[in-house]
Amino acid sequence: MSTSETPIDAVIERVRRVYRGWHRQTPVTQMRGDWDALFATGLGDATTETVDADGVPCRWIAASGVRTDAAILYLHGGGFQVGSTASHAELMAALSRATQCRVLGVDYRLAPENTLDDAIEDVAMAYRWLCRRPCASRTVVIGDSAGGNLALTLAIAARDCVDGTMSDAHALVLMSPWVDMTASGESYETRSAADPIHQRAMIQALARKCLGPSYATGDPLASPLFAQLAGLPSMLIQVGDRETLLSDATRLADRARDAGVPVSLQVWDGMIHVFQQFPNELREARDAIDVIGDFVAVQLDHP
């Protein structure tokens, strides 16, 4: 990093180097490998274990000394096309340390080979598997970006479950959640110049690739911003002030509050999409993860 370059500038350049290596003919398998490699920085003292959650590949990540009566279900982002428990392993390890909980990451099926329906099905299957574990009554669901979309959809499904296979989530944490596939938020205009990576055209293209024929972009299962939110658990939302997706977070917070859901919204000045993935480089990422740890601790202390 040059003397004039800030930590966030260095992070942006790291991400841009990956994007510059992609073009229309780049195989999605290469894109996924590049994305995993971008974040492959190690787990510290955390341990990892792959598990089969009723046919869904998942990964447990646990820092030393974690509690056994609670767990985090983690749903990674990546536009439903890239991302995995490998790309998010460092973040999951940091969350495990901050929350003192084991973290179960889900490798749900990705587009374009699969559709949103497949991702939703995998996430629900993994959650039902987790609900049969001893920590079932104290599960916090955390997701970033597209994973934030899935986390919110999952919490709604658990709220509406009548067969007893899914317990209500104890709390929700959403980082830069992508919850409006119509891309209708005003921040696509007001933050267009500030966001170094994500623009409306890219978001709309990602939506088309994952939805398949089953959904319109405004369907609540595709855009849970428009779902009925009453009865959901307490929610922490973190988002960067430079994001074109800023409006997804602010409108979700407003709609959830209007529905009676306890919501804490944090807009981090100068930060980009899912800045929490860079704890080694960004003090703000470390601080945000600490906030998540404090929030989870408070929620787990509640019955």
Per-residue pLDDT tens over the stretch 24-57: 899 999 999 999 999 988 888 999 999 999 999 9
What confidence tens digit (pLDDT) does each residue in 148-198 have?
A: 999 999 999 999 999 989 999 999 999 999 999 999 999 999 999 999 989
pLDDT at position 136, please?
A: 67
The answer for 276, left when phi > 0, alpha when psi is -120 to 50, beta otherwise, is alpha
Catalytic residue at 243?
A: yes
If you average pLDDT over residues 14-21, what whole number do you get? 92
d(CA 152, CA 142) in angstroms, rounded, equals 9
d(CA 106, CA 85) in angstroms, rounded, equals 7
Select which of 84, 87, 96, 145 is catalytic.
145
- Residue ranges in 187-282 assigned as alpha helix (H): 187-190, 200-211, 246-258
Select which of 84, 170, 234, 243 is catalytic.
243
Q: Which helix (H) or strand (E) holds 117?
A: helix 116-131
If you average pLDDT over residues 238-261, what whole number do you get? 98
pLDDT at position 41, please?
A: 80
- pLDDT band for 134, please (50, 70, 90 cuts): confident
Statement: residue 1 has pLDDT above 60: no
Give which of 207, 284, 272 is closest to 246, Cα–Cα: 272
pLDDT at position 220, please?
A: 97
Catalytic residue at 302?
A: no
- The rounded mean pLDDT for the chain is 95
pLDDT at position 4, please?
A: 67
Statement: residue 2 has pLDDT above 70: no
Statement: residue 89 has pLDDT above 80: yes
Catalytic residue at 273?
A: yes
pLDDT at position 185, please?
A: 97
Domains of the chain in sequence order: 7-301 (3.40.50.1820)
Select which of 88, 170, 273, 284 is catalytic.
273
pTM exceeds 0.95 for this model: yes
